[in-house]
Amino acid sequence: MPITLAPMDTLIGPLAALSAALFWALSTLLYNQAGSFLSAAQLNLVKGVVACPLLFVSGWLAGSLSAFDGSQAAWILLASGVIGIALGDTLYFAALRRLGPWHTMLLEYLAPPLAAFIAWWALHETMSVWQIIGVVVTISGILLVLSEKRRAADAHTTLNLSGIGAAIGAALCQAVGLVMSFHALNQFEINPLNAALLRIFAGTVALFIALLLLKPTIIRSTRSALRHTSIPWLLAAVVMGAFLGIWLQQIAISSVSPGIAQTLLSTAPLWLIPVQWLRKQALSWQSISGALVALAGIVLLVN
C-alpha cells in the first residue's frame, strides 16, 4: 500500500510552531550566556532594537510589508506587543537571571492554562472537564520540578521565589498577548510577518518610553553594558528568538488551530533536554518527568 504524504500546506503550521519552539530554546540559552552585564529591561530593549529592522527589511524584500491601516486587528496586535513583549519579555529575562534557562522556560507552561482562563473570563468561552483536568495536570508537573529545585538549593529560596514570581508574571503577560494575537489573526486578514513586526515594534517603543519616563539611567548605561557583552552571542539570540521565533509563531497561529499551535509552541522546554545533554549538563529524571507531565496537561487543555 503506497504511503501518502501530507500536503505541504498542512505541514507549514506545525513545522513553523516546532521550529519556533526550538529557536526559543536556543535563544534562551544564548541570552543566558550573553546578557550577564545587561539588566532585564536593557536586554529586552536591545532585542527589540535589533529585531525590528530585521523584520522590516525582510518584509520589504519579500514584498509583503503593508502600512499600518488602523484596523481593529492592528490595534489588538499593538496592544498584545505592549503586554506580551514590553512587559512579558522583561519579566522573562528577569526570571532567566534568577532561575536559569530550564526553570524559566518550564514556568512558561503556565501560559496556556492562564490563556484558557482569560478566554473563559474575558471572551466567555466555556471550559470542559478535560480542560480543567489539563490545568491541574500542567500545574502538577511544574510543581514536581520546582519541588526538586527547592530541595536542591534551600540556601537560595528567597532568590528562587523572586525568580518564580517574575516567571509567573511573564507567563501571565504571554497568555494575555497570546489570546489577543489569536483573536486578531483568526478574525482578520493580516500577514504573519506584519503581525510579528507590529507586536515587537509596539513592545520596543512602549519599553523605551517607560524607561525614559521612569528610569532614564538604564537607557544611558546600556551602551557601556554592551561593551562587556558577547555581541555575537547576543545577536544570534535575537535573530533566533525575536526575529525567526516570533515570525514563525505568527505563521503557526495563522495556519493551524489554536490548540495545535499552542501545544507545539509549548515544546520549547523539551528541546532543552537534548541540548543540555549535548552540553554535558544532563537534567534529572524528576525534571524531565515533570516537564512531560506539564506538556501532557497542555495537550488535555487545548484539545
Are the C-beta atoms of residues 168 and 139 closer than 8 Å to each other?
no
Q: How far apart are CA 208 and CA 13, in angstroms?
A: 33
More confident residue, 67 or 28: 28
Average pLDDT, integer, range 127-152: 77
Helix (H) or strand (E) holding 26: helix 8-34
Half-sphere exposure of 173 (CA within 13 A, CB side): 20
pLDDT 10s digits, 164-216: 999 999 999 988 887 888 777 766 777 778 888 889 999 999 999 999 999 99
Rounded to two decimals, the pTM is 0.83
User: What is the percentage of the chain residues whose pLDDT exceeds 70?
Assistant: 88
Write down the pLDDT at residue 240.
93
pLDDT 10s digits, 67-88: 777 778 889 889 999 999 999 9
User: What is the percentage of the chain residues whose pLDDT exceeds 90?
Assistant: 25
**What's the whole-number average pLDDT of the chain?**
82
The set of residues, in sequence order, having a beta carbon less than 8 Å from that of 154 and lying 6+ positions away, is none
- Is residue 15 pLDDT above 70, yes or no? yes
- Is residue 4 pLDDT above 60, yes or no? no
207 burial level (CB within 10 Å; 0-12, 13-18, 19+):
buried
